[in-house]
């Protein structure tokens, strides 16, 4: 019944109290003009009454702590009163209070004896707005799949009502596969074919990593394993979290890319590089060598909405040792182009195995308890998850913001994830509260970084 793949099971194996392995999403809504005083109460009642919970939201782990990672999903009855909760912010209901409560919610582990998700409806935000926060274990969905599941709950029509909640999506979800009834002989053949495929893939990945190491010695656009410098980002986690978010006009980022010959993702990485450089300088903690980001790359087909994970992870040079914004962008662009060249001819299996190789030291460090004590394999994760390009509505309420929350691995105290939505780029920063003080300053540094790139591109001059 629904055995987890090795990458999916890995998220469960390395999870601990200090490093929950779930991702989340925060949506900010403005009620429709005709909303009455009971709008949110009625909405909560409708959501609570929707018991048609579908895969993967009605699946729990058969063994919450599987032997040697042999996890599998089984269908379960869902207690909606546990998984869905209605909360209210304390006054004055600013975004600061919203981010504070979401930070606390995001820090707690999901109960492995239940389906691995929770959803919160949060009212009391200034100007009459409300929010929804949902978290779901990474073993169930990667960021791309989670975004697609989420969008199914909303509509482009502001007049549409009675939309399904996130746990009752339309379309196909993951359903547990039945046990193979064909006997030991067929299973043996399947394992032989699988092993042969893994050997071939392993050789391909080994050649790629070897080339990567050799080229990194004379070309800094190529990143080798363990090239990342020690930094204040790479310490033991405390379990407490701090989440902050901000939105930027997507056209500003696109305009910089057009004028400077860079992709949107290149510009985003350059913004993060400059912001991190300033933050670390503020704390007198900027390493002499450039920070290395681990960048998730999706190979999920556009029509593939299945659950599970379809991502690989690649390293990128953030060029934080360079003072000039154009020089930083140029090195980041070269680093990402080198990555694309390496991945272009890889099969999906190769891409998965490449990601496993890049994160193997991290996983081994977590399992051995050495993460945060040894030299990091990278410094942080920076993700760019594409979102809907049109305004969405939830039972008439317009979504004004869509902010991603991610996970932190032991020894890696910062994650920056961005999601595009309706002409904006929404940044979600998840950090360890103890390791990175005043992390909200990164938001200001990101704005300054974008302004510097616009100046370098000749925009507004």
Active-site choice (138, 222, 321, 445): 138
Is there a contact between 165 and 47 (Cβ–Cβ < 8 Å)? yes
Partner residues linked to 327 by β-bridges: none
Long-range Cβ pairs for the range 49-55 (8 Å, 24+): 50/80, 50/164, 50/165, 50/167, 50/168, 51/78, 51/80, 52/168, 53/78, 53/80, 53/115, 53/167, 53/168, 54/167, 54/168, 54/169, 54/173, 55/173, 55/174, 55/175, 55/176, 55/307
Judge whether 138 counts as a catalytic residue: yes
The torsion angles phi and psi of 7, rounded to 5 degrees, stand at: -60, -40
Contacts of 220 (CB under 8 A, 6+ apart): 290, 317, 331, 335
Partner residues linked to 317 by β-bridges: 292
Smallest CA-to-CA distance from 245 within 452, 393, 106, 391 is with: 106
| Axis crossing angle, helix 325-343 with helix 441-456, rounded to the nearest 10 | 90
Angle at 423 between CA 394 and CA 21, to 5 degrees: 65
The span from the CA of 293 to the CA of 427, in Å, is 16
Q: How far is CA 180 from CA 75, 76, 140, 166, in A?
A: 18, 21, 22, 31
Mind telling me the catalytic residues?
138
């Amino acid at each position: 019944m629904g055995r987890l793949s090795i990458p999916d099971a890995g998220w469960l194996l390395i999870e601990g109290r200090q490093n929950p392995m779930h991702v989340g999403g925060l949506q900010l809504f403005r009620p429709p003009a005709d909303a009455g005083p009971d709008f949110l109460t009625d909405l909560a009642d409708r959501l609570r009454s929707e018991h048609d919970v579908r895969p993967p939201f009605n699946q729990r782990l058969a063994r919450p702590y599987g032997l040697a990672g042999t996890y599998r999903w089984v269908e379960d009855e869902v207690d909606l009163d546990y998984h869905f909760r209605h909360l209210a912010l304390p006054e004055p209901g600013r975004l600061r209070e919203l981010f504070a409560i979401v930070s606390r919610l995001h820090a707690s582990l999901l109960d492995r004896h239940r389906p691995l998700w929770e959803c919160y409806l949060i009212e009391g935000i200034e100007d009459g707005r409300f929010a929804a926060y949902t978290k779901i274990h990474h073993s169930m969905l990667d960021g791309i799949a989670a975004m697609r599941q989420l969008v199914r709950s909303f509509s482009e029509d502001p007049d549409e009502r009675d939309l399904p909640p996130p746990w009752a999506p339309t379309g196909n979800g993951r359903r547990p596969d039945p046990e193979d009834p064909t006997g030991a002989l067929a299973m043996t053949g399947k394992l032989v074919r699988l092993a042969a495929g893994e050997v071939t893939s392993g050789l391909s990945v080994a050649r790629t990593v070897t080339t990567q190491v050799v080229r990194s010695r004379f070309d800094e656009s190529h990143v080798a394993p363990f090239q990342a410098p020690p930094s204040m980002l790479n310490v033991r986690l405390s379990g407490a979290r701090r989440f902050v978010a901000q939105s930027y006009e997507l056209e500003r980022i696109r305009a910089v890319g057009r004028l400077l010959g860079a992709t949107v993702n290149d510009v985003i990485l350059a913004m993060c590089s400059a912001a991190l450089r300033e933050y670390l300088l503020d704390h007198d903690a900027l390493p002499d060598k450039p920070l290395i980001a681990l960048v998730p790359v999706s190979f999920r087909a556009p029509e593939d909405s299945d659950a599970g994970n379809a991502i690989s992870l690649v390293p990128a040079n953030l060029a934080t040792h360079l003072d000039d914004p154009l020089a930083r962008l140029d090195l980041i662009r070269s680093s990402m182009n080198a990555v694309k060249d390496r991945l272009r001819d890889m099969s999906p299996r190769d891409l998965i195995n490449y990601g496993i190789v890049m994160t193997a030291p991290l996983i081994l460090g977590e399992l051995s308890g050495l993460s945060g004590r040894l030299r990091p394999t990278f410094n942080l994760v920076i993700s760019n998850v594409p979102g809907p390009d049109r305004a969405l509505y939830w039972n008439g309420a317009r979504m004004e913001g869509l902010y991603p929350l991610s996970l932190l691995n032991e020894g890696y105290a910062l994650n920056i994830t961005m999601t595009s939505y309706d002409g904006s780029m929404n940044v979600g920063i998840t950090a360890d509260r103890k390791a990175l003080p005043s992390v909200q300053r990164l938001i200001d540094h990101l704005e300054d970084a974008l302004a510097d790139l616009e100046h370098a591109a000749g925009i507004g001059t």
